[in-house]
Amino acid sequence: MESFVKGSIFRGGTSKALLLNKEDLSDYQLNHIDDIVISIMGSPHKRQIDGIGNGDSLCSKVAIVSKSLDERVDLEYFFMQVSVNDRFVDKTVNCGNIASSIAPFAVNSKIINIEDNLSSATLKVKNINTDVIFETKICVKNGSYFSDGDMSIDGVNNTYSPIELNFFNPVGAKTGKLLPTGKVVDNIDGIDVSCIDVAVPMIIIDSTKFDKTGKETKDLLDKDKELLRRIEKIRKKASYLMGLGDCSKKVIPKVCLISKPASKANSICSRYFTPFDCHSTHSVSGAMCLASSLFIEGSIACQVINNRIENDIGIINIEHPSGIIPISYQVDNNQDVRKIKIIKMGFFRTARELVRGIFFYKL
């Protein structure tokens, strides 16, 4: 049976997703949503040739957006990561890049109405997958999202209006704990790792443990199949230690290989894995998690830069293959890891609506 759904393709940060208005979906479509989005994306196929995906996990994403019944927020959305090569949809995770596109889509789709005389709108949004709440500020004109502007982000060619996002108390997004294993450092297969859960659960590893500089290109890391095999083996074992169970068909926990920064103070260099290959830039949720680890005495990140960040307010720069993501933070810092409180973490992204129309699927 062939049918269709209405929606838009948005670039959010350095990712792309199909965004759907929940009100446009029938009960039947909601009940068969996994099969529908798999068909629309063209999975399972390495090129996703029979769908709108392009063989890249950064573009094989879907979010269903709606007004929220939660009085704390204006909007909510459910995120889905559609596997490229398998007939599988991971619904355990959020995407910080796509989070930047939720408010623009909601405003353009009239899920929420903005007064014509406003030049900006600040909305609170909840990610249903993780129950994390963030505040987003976007530019508007005549009641619609206004994308023109001078903001540039590494990994995107053109300039657009800035989108500010602040995530409140993002600790324990999936596990409920800053340190899911109960330890600052765990040893897995003879390699020391830090398992942290802020915005996304992640395994942080010193790149030198794999005889890497941490400055390698994505292509070079992706070609190293032995490296990918070892990373995945550690990831699977860490997932059980973190209370996340079997992760063989899940994209969390994530993994990053870190090294000393090339440039500024309050910086660290990262190669982030999606987890099955290296990200061409960096996940912003992963950037928030890595930044948070720099407040934790004895963490792998602190060991690598030989420092612990002690200021309660500031900016941490995450270096990645295409540039830098600056992460702003406000924390109640404490050398006792049990008393660290991450009040909020924020960043700027840009977004653009690329396609608006109907998307066919075959069940």
| Span 25-37, pLDDT tens digits | 999 999 999 999 9
Q: What class, spelled out in words, does domain 2-170+350-362 have in CATH?
A: alpha beta
pLDDT at residue 1 is higher than 90: no
The burial class, CB within 10 Å (0-12 / 13-18 / 19+), for 38 is buried
pLDDT at residue 350 is higher than 90: yes
DSSP, collapsed to helix, strand or coil, labels residue 239 as helix
CATH tag, 186-339: 3.10.310.10
Each residue of 27-77: pLDDT tens digit? 999 999 999 999 999 999 999 999 999 999 999 999 999 999 999 999 999
What residues does 197 pair with on adjacent strands? 201
In the prediction, which pLDDT does 338 show? 72
Q: Look at the block and give the residue holding tokens 């300039």.
A: 159
What value does the mean pLDDT of the chain take? 96
Distance CA 20, CA 63 (A): 6
Distance CA 326, CA 152 (A): 12
∠ Cα 246 84 129 (to 5°): 55
Each residue of 228-265: pLDDT tens digit? 999 999 999 999 999 999 999 899 999 999 999 987 77
In the prediction, which pLDDT does 83 show? 96
What residues does 168 pair with on adjacent strands? 344
The alpha carbon of residue 147 and the mean position of all alpha carbons in its chain are separated, in whole angstroms, by 21
In the prediction, which pLDDT does 223 show? 97
List the single range of 145-154, 170-179, 207-216, 259-268 with lowest mean pLDDT.
259-268
Residues of the chain with CATH 3.10.310.10: 2-170+350-362, 186-339
